């Protein structure tokens, strides 16, 4: 039998991608931003045309700028008019 205790388990799991701190914003991986902040898939976030920067073959978005773009695109939908009642 093989001894499993000698296997280094830290290399078996993928480390989360790092956040990159800028002077006025933070670059967050787009996949993580879409899942945690917006609740959508990475594909949907890429279709939103958020400002994306590629670092090390990974898509990063500016967190504050992207949240502002998403917030500006939200529109309130008017309520349906109520039907008049018969008297």
Pairing of strands 20-21, 26-29: antiparallel
Digitized pLDDT (tens) for each residue of the chain, 87 residues in all: 555 566 555 566 777 788 888 889 999 999 999 999 999 999 999 999 999 999 989 999 999 999 999 999 888 878 877 777 877
pLDDT at position 11: 61
> How far apart, in whole angstroms, are the C-alpha atoms of residue 25 and residue 13?
29
Q: Please state whether the predicted TM-score (pTM) of the whole model is above 0.75.
A: no
> How far apart, in whole angstroms, are the C-alpha atoms of residue 42 and residue 32?
8
Cβ-based burial of 34 (10 A; exposed 0-12, middle 13-18, buried ≥19): buried
pLDDT at position 9: 59
- Which residues are paired to 54 by β-bridges? 59
């Amino acid at each position: 039998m093989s001894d499993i205790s000698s296997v280094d388990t830290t290399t078996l799991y993928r480390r989360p991608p790092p956040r990159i701190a800028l002077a006025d914003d933070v670059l967050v991986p787009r996949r993580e931003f879409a899942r945690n902040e917006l609740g959508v898939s990475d594909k949907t976030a890429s279709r939103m045309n958020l400002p994306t920067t590629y670092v090390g073959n990974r898509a990063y978005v500016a967190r504050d700028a992207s949240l502002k773009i998403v917030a500006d695109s939200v529109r309130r939908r008017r309520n349906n008019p109520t039907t008049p009642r018969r008297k």
